[in-house]
Amino acid sequence: MNAVIELGNGDSLHLEPARRALRLYPGAAGAQVELTLSISKVHDLAPGIAYQVKAQVYVEDNTHRRQQRMLCDLHATSLVTPVVRASPVQLSGFITDEQIRVVEQLRGGGDLWLNLRLTTSSVEWQADSIPVDQYQSPMISDEELEGLRQDALSRDDVLRATTKFLTEKFGPLPSSAKVTFERPLTKQRTGDLRFDINAGEWAAQLMHVQAGAFVELLVPLARGTDYTDAVTALREARELLRQGRIEPAIVEARKAVEQVRVAYGTQKLFAAAVKKTPRQRTLDERWAFMVEDLFSTMSGAGHKDEVTKDFEYTREDGEMLIVAAAGMLKRLSAKSITL
């Protein structure tokens, strides 16, 4: 995950994302984006050259790996003069609330993959020369010549002054003589950098700009490997949802709920509780209702009968059901640890 930009002199620039490269800051109807990269040279054969760095940022569609969408332009907040030892360069830009919403759709619950099309700009000096008889030195007084010597206003002015001084002192220069000088050239070079932002890290940045919230549930594995299969099912469900396979994701997550039903004996509790009014039910019976209702809702994705054949689940439905299943499993795991 690094970009190599050749400089044409046997040297090259290396750029890669810094640790925790992305930061979002609240803005009006959007967020300021700050992206930190590290930049270095392999050899620093031409030291002291400053570079302006900018990037076009593209976001990958996690459900269609070969597709990507343009997101924004980022520009370095200052010039950077890279050396062999890596140093940071910070790029800044802005994205709207609508762009954030689209990014969430493209991300699909997975990691955020970014492609940067980098451009570096610099002003470099290139040696050049012309025959002396083609060089037209300007008329200049002795006072002006002395002023140029003292102030050295520019390389070109000093060159003209020096040529006139030599001509006046030693006579006309031979026709074979050449005037040598350095010409300033603006150079642009490009490179590509692809890397990912962890889903949890991205979600935390969304919370920072109040663009969304996320729930991260750690399910402890109590009593050996009792719940390993259920946790695996939830992971598989999240991956299926990321791929856009909503109903298979719900069916997979239901496997975790099945284990909760068995552990709590919710079917028996539910059968007894339905004979009571809601206000008369115990806490365990109320939990049993939640588990059974969750299982029943998820079953509609896997069984198509006269009632459920027309059920349609949105992505948001899938996210809610998977998170609910994870919450039930976490509660069961935590309770098992205390037993």
pLDDT tens sequence across 243-291: 788 999 999 999 999 999 998 899 999 999 999 998 999 999 999 999 9
Residue 224 — pLDDT band, cuts 50, 70, 90? very low
Residue 238 — pLDDT band, cuts 50, 70, 90? confident
For residues 118 and 3, the answer to whether their CB atoms sit within 8 Å is yes
**What does DSSP say about strands 87-96 and 64-76: parallel, antiparallel, or unpaired?**
antiparallel
Residue 116 — pLDDT band, cuts 50, 70, 90? very high
∠ CA 282-287-289, nearest 5°, is: 95
Separation CA 158–CA 232 (nearest Å):
75
* pLDDT tens-digit series, residues 42-69: 999 889 999 999 999 999 988 776 688 9
For residues 124 and 49, the answer to whether their CB atoms sit within 8 Å is yes
Residue 194 φ then ψ, to 5°: -120, 130
Q: In the chain, what are the helix, strand and coil shares in percent, each to the nearest 5?
A: 40, 30, 30
In this prediction, residue 130 carries a pLDDT of: 65
Write 65-71 long-range contacts (CB < 8 A, 24+).
Answer: 68/115, 69/102, 69/106, 71/95, 71/99, 71/103, 71/114
Asked if pLDDT for residue 216 goes beyond 70, the answer is no
